[in-house]
Amino acid sequence: MKYVAVTGGVISGLGKGITASSISRIFKARGVSVTPIKIDPYLNVDAGTMNPYQHGEVFVLDDGTEVDLDLGNYERFLGESLAGNHNITTGKVYRSVIEKERRGDYLGNTVQIIPHVTGEVKRLIREVGESSGAEVAIIEVGGTVGDIESMPFLEALRELRMEVGKKEDMAFVHTTLVPVVGAVGEAKTKPTQHSVRELRSLGIQPDMIVTRSTNPISSEIKQKISLFCGVRSEMVISVPDMSCIYDLPLHLEEEGVGDRLMQILNIPQRPVDLGGWKSFTERYHAASGEVTVAVVGKYAELKDSYLSHTEAFHHTQGGVGVKVRMQWFDAEDLAKDAELQKRLNSVQGILIPGGYGRRGIDGKLFALQHARETGTPLLGVCLGFQLAAVEFARNVLGLPDANSTEFDPGTKNPVVDLLREQGKVVNLGGTQHLGSEKVVLTEGSLVSRIYGRKDIRERHRHRYEINHEFIERFEEKGFRVTGHAPDGRVEVLEMPKHPFYVGVQYHPEFLSRPESPHPLYVGLVRAALARQGGGTPAP
């Protein structure tokens, strides 16, 4: 087993996750099997309880684990599904160590950061690597070098490099910032120097430095970084800002990163095939025409809260060949701003994403009614799906007090209610319905035609469901159930007489990939394009 550790310095948000994902992709392009691991140094056991404003979206895996959004990038770049053990958090590590201590596994020894916590980190890393059967594990360490909470993980990686036996069995890639300051736009290397010095003080010498900057850095700057940081100049890789993150694997390949990492790890060179990836990026950049899709969400101020939706539209742009412009609407503002409401008239499609809590639902309900009455193509996801049922019950069935019991526990018309089991309401408290599950689509329905099949599997993250008592009345008025779970839970609602009005309980955004955009986003964009009068271009 070989390892590549990706660390970061100076500031967070430099793109360690995209760098790790891109390295994974260029290994895969060589036929080298890889398994990605994300280390998050927070004390949360997982990302499930985190506020999107603080940490961006919560990504859900097939096994139902709620994880950091970087694992979404790994899946998208690799085109593979991961499991919960690919995300290691401080909470997971300390919980395991404390459980072992309580059981007496340490035989009375004093339990310490070194060797017990670092040993647990190494065990978890090895466990993922060995169980995957991959040749290389790509390990991304969250945070920045120098953070107190990251130190046990960096120490564990230092120890791991010693224990793997051969230097060529582990490589360290360090990402740093090279800012441009002053009137003349001079690139400064001091932040990189200090960051590498901090890393070296912990006993880790990087093998490669990936510099992030506005523009490409010069060969003179590379040589300066090489001299002060003890890294050969050809191992200093310049990564300037890019308009599309999916260009990065191709850029790193052009910079020779793949060949050099293969040399460091002593893996024989193999033919490189990035043809499919290159074709996708070419179609993405060559996309012509434009459709505007409104994204009506309660976390619109932080767009990382809807990262998987954003990427799904990027994948669709590369697949359909039309530019997709997302116009962000704060759901709370939309409910009370008449000018903002008028702006919905200028969009060709609407996405209502998921969320929790009462705030912003009035704005989402307004957007849903607008889409239903004007024929604007709409995709409602999770909460967007549930609110589509509420809006329909209020304004079509004539039940003005219809609601979800999440927002009004005492409503007389609970169109959306807590999950049920064998006909009884189950108060699940802090638990949810999570993970991949089979969904059966109604033959001949719009969604079955979009997917091109009847049986699908999609990922879930919800606590409420459509109340079956209202289904017959929905269908009488033209809102059809066209997808359900094996236990009968409603999964899809659509309006056959509407150009495209689809609500889904699951989260299709989690399964969209660059080379395989999700059918529902493709369907929404094609419907938006048809509404604009531009026809439907070939995929």
Q: Which residues are catalytic?
A: 382, 507, 509
Pairing between β-strand 464-466 and β-strand 414-418 as defined by DSSP bridges: antiparallel
Q: What is the DSSP string of 231-269?
A: --GGGEEEEE--S-GGGHHHHHHHTTHHHHHHHHTT---
Q: Which helix (H) or strand (E) holds 41?
A: none
Q: Answer yes or no: are the C-beta atoms of 161 and 195 closer than 8 Å.
A: no
DSSP label at 58?
P
Pairing between β-strand 186-187 and β-strand 180-181 as defined by DSSP bridges: antiparallel
Q: Which two tokens stand for residue 115?
A: 């060797």
Measure the CA–CA gap between 518 and 266, rounded to whole angstroms.
38
Residues sharing a CB contact under 8 Å with residue 380, sequence separation 6 or more, in sequence order:
351, 352, 368, 387, 388, 502, 503, 504
Measure the CA–CA gap between 245 and 108, rounded to whole angstroms.
50
Measure the CA–CA gap between 427 and 408, rounded to whole angstroms.
15
Q: Which two tokens stand for residue 67?
A: 């994880």
Residue with tokens 């890789």: 237
Alpha-carbon distances, residue 527 vs 120, 179, 441, 504 (angstroms): 51, 43, 20, 17
